[in-house]
């Protein structure tokens, strides 16, 4: 169950990073912060 939530959070963060046009280090940094906040940025 937890893995599904983590996958959803990861996908949500990736989508947000895509929307912001982030790549490379900026994208990694954004996704790390996003995951810590539970997918809400």
1-41 pLDDT, tens digit each: 568 999 999 999 999 999 999 999 999 999 999 999 998 77
User: What end-to-end distance do the CA atoms of the chain give, in Å?
Assistant: 23
**Where in the sequence is the domain holding 15, given as residue range(s)?**
2-36
| Residue 41 placed within a domain | no
Q: Is residue 14 part of a domain?
A: yes
Give the pLDDT score at 39. Answer: 83
Half-sphere exposure of 12 (CA within 13 A, CB side): 15
| CB distance 25 to 7 below 8 Å | no
Q: How far is CA 34 from CA 6, 12, 28, in A?
A: 11, 9, 10
Q: How many domains is the chain partitioned into structurally?
A: 1
pLDDT, residue 12, reads: 95
9 domain-assigned? yes
Would you state the pLDDT for residue 41? 77
């Amino acid at each position: 169950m937890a893995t599904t939530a983590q996958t959803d959070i990861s996908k949500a963060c990736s989508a947000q990073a895509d929307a912001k046009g982030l790549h490379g280090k900026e994208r990694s940094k954004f996704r790390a912060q996003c995951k810590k906040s539970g997918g809400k940025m």
